[in-house]
Amino acid sequence: MDTEFKNSLLTEFKQKCRDKRLKITPQRTIIYEELINSTDHPSVDILYKRVKGKLPDISFDTVYRTLMTFNSIGIAEIVEGINTSKRYDGNTRKHYHYICLRCGKITDIYDIAFKFEIPEIIKEKYSPSSVRVFFEGICENC
């Protein structure tokens, strides 16, 4: 992820916090910066260990609750497959995920011609607010 895009994500982070009347605390800022600097779609455990190096007094619960808040305000996505643990992505640019069932690596997939239409029967019975598409299989390294 290039510096310009990271800066735009930080600006979006600050604006969304203001819009939702959330304080822009040092803890939230460091957690968010660590998330957008991660390309491995970290779990809460991994992100907690990284953030703890910068904020030794931070609790696991603070990191977990902060990530859930980020997800609820639209600045982070929860990435999980069928048999994988919950991981987080701070990249809000339109993309899909490929999850390796052997090693657990999550790869971002951009610029593919993939259209998914919500079936009419779903639209008639429900009010879907989003659709998530991910790919699972064995990665090229495995």
Thinking of the domain 3-87, which architecture would CATH place it in? Orthogonal Bundle (1.10)
Distance, first Cα to last Cα, the chain: 25
100-115: average pLDDT: 88
- 102, 141 Cβ separation under 8 angstroms: no
The mean of the pLDDT values for the chain is 92
Q: Give the pLDDT band of residue 28 (cuts 50, 70, 90).
A: very high
In the chain, where do the E strands start and end?
77-79, 87-89, 96-100, 106-109, 134-137
Q: What pLDDT is stored for residue 94 in this prediction?
A: 85
Q: What pLDDT is stored for residue 93 in this prediction?
A: 86
Rounded (5°) CA angle 100-10-62: 70
For residue 137, CA distances in Å to 47, 100, 107 come to 25, 5, 11
Q: What pLDDT is stored for residue 55 in this prediction?
A: 97
Q: Which residues neighbour 5 within 8 Å (Cβ) at sequence distance 6 or greater?
A: 93
Which residue matches tokens 């069932």? 101
pLDDT tens profile 41-87 = 999 999 999 999 999 999 999 999 999 999 999 999 999 877 778 99
The dotted CATH code for 91-137 is 3.30.1490
2-23: average pLDDT: 94
Beta carbons within 10 angstroms of residue 29's beta carbon: 14
Rounded (5°) CA angle 134-137-140: 115
Instruction: Please state the pTM of the whole predicted model.
Output: 0.84
Domain with CATH 3.30.1490 in the chain: 91-137
Question: Distance between CA 53 and CA 55 in Å, rounded?
Answer: 6
Domain with CATH 1.10.10.10 in the chain: 3-87
In 22-90, where do the E strands start and end?
77-79, 87-89
Q: What pLDDT is stored for residue 115 in this prediction?
A: 75
